[in-house]
Amino acid sequence: MKQVLTKSTEETRELARQFACSLKHGDCVALIGSLGSGKTEFTRGITDVFNCTEQLTSPTFTILNIYNGSRSGETFTIHHFDWYRLNSPEELYNIGFEEYLYGNGVSVIEWADKFPDLVPKTAKRIELHRSTESERLITFAQSFPLR
């Protein structure tokens, strides 16, 4: 387990960039933390590394945003989920979410703890905690099930 205290939005994004360098096709990142804890900022660091040109928006009102990117010449699709407003897993099954989570590319799930049973067992679990207005304690767990 690794813990980092970031002191600004930029530090969180930089931490995410370092983390994203080791992501591989098929990896899933499960982000867990309350409102405003920095999950979307962390995701921005990930899309930076994959040179996603499209501006990342908070997917709060959509279940999934898809970004096309590349890293070292290799193309990657980033699947950015936000489960905050999901009421039931049905909505995820309706969009065929498993194909995104278990297919090629990298998936990021905000509010992954809402439906722990639907998170791939190999997901990289990252917890974000708002310590103060500008500080976030970010904990990287080993890959292990959320449940």
Ligand X SMILES: Nc1ncnc2c1ncn2[C@@H]1O[C@H](COP(=O)(O)OP(=O)(O)OP(=O)(O)O)[C@@H](O)[C@H]1O
Residues that bind ligand X (CB under 6 A): 6-9, 11-12, 33, 35-41, 58, 60, 84, 110, 134-136
Measured CA to CA, the distance from residue 87 to residue 140 in angstroms comes to: 27
- The pair of structure tokens assigned to 146 is 């959320």
Residue 7 in tokens: 């002191």
Q: Which does 8 bind (CB under 5 to 8 A by kind): ligand X, Mg ion, none?
A: ligand X
Contact in structure between 58 and 49 (CB atoms under 8 Å): no
Which of ligand X, Mg ion, none is residue 1 near (CB under 5 to 8 Å by kind)?
A: none
From the list 99, 105, 133, 128, the residue with the least C-alpha distance to 33 is 128
Say how many residues touch Mg ion, by CB under 5 A. 4
The minimum distance between CB 4 and Mg ion, in angstroms, equals 19
Q: CA 32, CA 58: separation in Å to the nearest integer?
A: 15
| Nearer to Mg ion (CB atom), residue 11 or residue 41 | 41
**Residue 124 binds: one of ligand X, Mg ion, none (C-beta under 5 to 8 A by kind):** none
